[in-house]
Copies of this chain bind each other. A is one copy, B any other.
Amino acid sequence: MKVFTVCGITQSGKTTTIENIIRELKKRRYSVGSVKEIHFEAFAIDEKGSNTDRHRRAGSELVTARGYYETDVLFPTRISIEEILRFYHQDYVVLEGVTDSNVPKIITAHTIEEIEERLDGRVFAISGRIVNEIQEYKGIPVISTIDEVTKLVDLIEEKVYEKLPEFPKECCGACGYDCIELGIKILKGEAKREDCIISQEAIELLIDDKTIPMVPFVQNILYNAVTAVVKELEGYKKGHKITVKIGEK
């Protein structure tokens, strides 16, 4: 799943940019999901006094509203982007206003100052109202999604990679960097997405909780044996974690 974020202050053209990107991605036959960060403390999607609101006030810790054409799962806490992404299995997920996820970034801005406030190694494009004033900034292309959305989505196709993990260097660092550094290197063309060893087909076998080393050949046999069965079952999602336990619950 490829994930990127669009960041910028209110009225900088974030939502319009995202609408245009989503439409163009869909035109190219990708499946697309999105997450909107709401920077408004009093935000509540549910109506006061609705039945679901009454459930919550009575103490229900997770409330779902199921209608004829939608199902809304209302978590009563702010949950992490990593957790949120577990609900997704689209080709692309666009984050709006999300700043705490290790993903490539598009800035929308009116002014150079607004760009500067958000600029880091993860920015690969600039859009929003500033497109009327400059064509590039410090080597980063400035692209209108009104006239040039195909150009921006070409760049998304070129730059945005399969979501990287979010480990600090102490936890992994097997590629030589932490996950944020690796992301920046990939955007610069100085590393490849495949350098992340965690994403290389990971199968692990434990007997009595001890890891049994397997040569790649055996790994493949076991991997194929398990996924051949599991992928036929309801609840299976490609790329998601599978665990099979035998002999103990």
Chain A residues in the interface with B (C-beta under 8 A)? 15, 18-20, 22-23, 25-26, 31-38, 40-41, 43-46, 51-52, 54-55, 57-79, 81, 84, 86-88, 90, 94, 96, 98, 198, 202-210, 212, 214, 218, 221-223, 225-230, 233-237, 239-249
Q: Return the contact of A32 from the options B25, B59, B79, B218 (Cβ within 8 A).
A: B59
Kindly list chain B residues whose C-beta atoms are within 8 Å of the C-beta of A205. 230, 233, 242-245
CB distance from A7 to the nearest CB of B (A): 14
In the complex, the answer to whether B236 meets A241 with C-beta atoms within 8 Å is: no
Q: Are B55 and A67 in contact (CB under 8 A)?
A: no
A interface secondary structure, majority: mixed
Interchain CB contact under 8 A, B209 and A243: yes
Chain B residues whose C-beta falls within 8 Å of the C-beta of A67 in the assembled complex: 38, 40-41, 43-45, 78
Q: Which residue of B lies closest to A20 (CB)?
A: B58
B22 touches A55 (CB 8 A): yes
Q: A33-B63, A59-B32, A87-B62 are in contact. Are A204 and B44 (CB under 8 A)?
A: no
> What's the least CB distance linking A20 to chain B, in Å?
8
Other A-B pairs, 10, CB within 8 Å; known A66-B79, A239-B247, A241-B245: A19-B55, A34-B60, A34-B62, A40-B67, A45-B70, A64-B87, A70-B76, A206-B242, A206-B243, A212-B236
The answer to whether A229 touches B218, judged by C-beta atoms less than 8 angstroms apart, is: yes
Q: Which of B33, B69, B226 contacts A244 (CB 8 A)?
A: B226
- Distance from A226 Cβ to chain B, minimum over Cβ atoms (Å): 6
The CA of A67 and the CA of B84, in the complex, are separated in Å by 13
Taking CB atoms, residues of chain B closer than 8 Å to A57 are: 19
List residues of chain B with CB within 8 A of the CB of A246: 202-204, 223, 226-227, 241-243
